[in-house]
Amino acid sequence: MEFVLDFFDKLRDIQALVVWAGYVGLFIIVFAETGLLVGFFLPGDSLLFTAGLFAAQGLFNVYELCVILVVAAITGDAVGYYIGKTGGHTLYAREDSRFFKKKHLIATKVFYEKYGAFTIVAARWMPFARTFAPVVAGIAEMPYSTFVTYNIVGGTTWVLSMILAGYFLGTAFPAIVKHLEIVIVVIVFLSLLPGIIKYLQVKYGKK
């Protein structure tokens, strides 16, 4: 119980969370966010970027970090697909809870119906959607041979783009760590931007 409470306390401080988690903890967090329905609230983009920054500071080996978290992202989505395919339909009747919001599942389903298999790639950069996209693909019975291809592409490009962006920025501008809060706010805003744009399009009736 103390471990769980400590984890939720660290969620308020991304820097402390990354240092506290280490390789194993980061693997579990990325896996949970992409493969378990309870992980939709986890700070995926900012977590990966911050891990890349700390890799530039010598806290992690950037190559090991990339490999470990790519594996976490890909296996997480595979588990999400399995959950969706074996019992995902019942989720539409499930009541909301602290760790499950049906509206995110439905929004991801709408996105999937519009963009198809590419959702598995695009959703990686969209909070909430990256948790529910593999589940929706499983519910929709996307052929696994198709899913696994998009899963590998999406998981690899998401993890590498975020970690390496943090790593190279941290290498070029080491002092950026002192202003990490501002950087994280920018990252969170950019990750929410697609949803904001979609909301404005619906609100004002523009395609």
Q: Which residue has the tokens 């920018």?
A: 186
What is the pTM (predicted TM-score) of this model? 0.79
Contact between residue 170 and residue 57 where contact means Cβ atoms under 8 Å apart: yes
Cβ neighbour number for residue 93 with a 10 Å cutoff: 7
d(CA 161, CA 66): 10
Taking CA atoms, 93 is separated from 22, 89, 105, in Å, by 37, 8, 11
pLDDT for 42: 67
For residue 127, give the H/E element and its range: none
pLDDT for 125: 85
pLDDT for 170: 84
End-to-end CA distance of the chain: give it in Å, rounded: 48
pLDDT for 10: 46
Contact between residue 191 and residue 125 where contact means Cβ atoms under 8 Å apart: yes
State the burial class of residue 155 (Cβ atoms within 10 Å of its Cβ: 0-12, 13-18, 19+).
buried
Contact between residue 50 and residue 11 where contact means Cβ atoms under 8 Å apart: no
Q: What is the pLDDT of residues 75-107, one digit of tens each?
A: 999 999 999 988 877 877 777 766 667 887 888
Q: Which residues have a Cβ under 8 Å from the Cβ of 81 and sit 6 or more positions away?
A: 134, 135, 137, 138, 142, 144, 147, 151
Question: Has residue 154 got a pLDDT over 50?
Answer: yes
Q: What is the pLDDT of residues 114-132, one digit of tens each?
A: 888 888 998 888 877 888 8
Q: Which residue has the tokens 């529910």?
A: 132
Question: Has residue 34 got a pLDDT over 90?
Answer: no
